[in-house]
Amino acid sequence: MTIYLPELDVEDLSFPSPYEALEEPNGLLAFGGDLRPERLISAYKHGVFPWFGPNEPLLWWSPSPRAVFEPQIYKPSKSLKKFQRKHQYRVTINHRTQAVIGYCSSTRPLEETWLNADMRAAYIQLAKMGYCHSVEVWRDDELIGGLYGLSIGQVFCGESMFSLAPNASKIALWYFCHHFTQSGGKLIDCQVMNPHLESLGAIEMSRDDFLSRLQQHQQSALELSCFSPQTLSLAIDGGENR
């Protein structure tokens, strides 16, 4: 059976409707185009993201169901709280975005590395423009974990995370969920469910619900201080505060 897949025009930043995405492979919407910042921002605002492997063309996706975190109801496990009380990892925002993106690429098996040099350059450029942000986890002065993604209004489109020490990426997510909620954040997109995301508390959301929430929440802004370079803190026992 022949399947038609639209090719994006380099001069045109528009995308097909996410509802035109294929069922198999789930969410494949289009190919081609480029990774210029304007196209990436447009993609994320419409629930579309790039994802392609070595020797593949630039592919664009909008799967259903969508994996998401509801940050306001995220709860860390008791064991994670106990671990952090003991080890006291330090958590920051936007201190080492380029390094986080680099680690997210270099710590994955070669066959799983979609975050190639062009993709890394694109997200670094978006960071310079104020769209792409990182969360870093430190043990003393050593960067041991983190995550990064794009901020679209009150939605954070998570792209990748890494961990070089036990629980580092879990602590990045935990602290960020709290801080993001306190700053007015409503939804964290993590694209496609996998066992690791599910273990962290991600849930699946239909395409209809996700696109509705995305449209609703991108119309409102976060607190201006949300992504200012800063150190995050939590009162782990009892009331939480920044």
Cβ contacts of 140 within 8 Å, gap of 6 or more: none
Range 67-232 has CATH code 3.40.630.70: yes
* pTM of model > 0.85: yes
Query: So what's the architecture of 7-64 in CATH?
Result: 2-Layer Sandwich (3.30)
Nearest one of 190, 179, 160, 191 to 222, comparing CA atoms: 179
The per-residue pLDDT for 144 is: 98
What pLDDT sits at residue 26? 96
Structure tokens given for 242:
């920044």
Q: Enumerate helices (H) and strands (E) in the chain, giving the number of each.
A: 7, 12
150, burial (CB in 10 Å: exposed 0-12, middle 13-18, buried 19+): buried
| pLDDT at 240 (0 to 100) | 43
What pLDDT sits at residue 3? 74
Domain boundaries defined on the chain: 7-64, 67-232
Digit-coded pLDDT (tens) for 175-210: 999 999 999 999 999 999 999 899 999 999 999 999
DSSP string for 29-66: EEEE----HHHHHHHHHTT-EE---TT---EEE--SSE
Distance CA(73)–CA(178), nearest Å, equals 9
Domain 67-232 in the same topology as domain 7-64: no
Low-confidence ranges of the chain (pLDDT < 70): 1-2, 108-114, 237-242
CA distance 99 to 47: 26
Tokens of 94: 């936007």
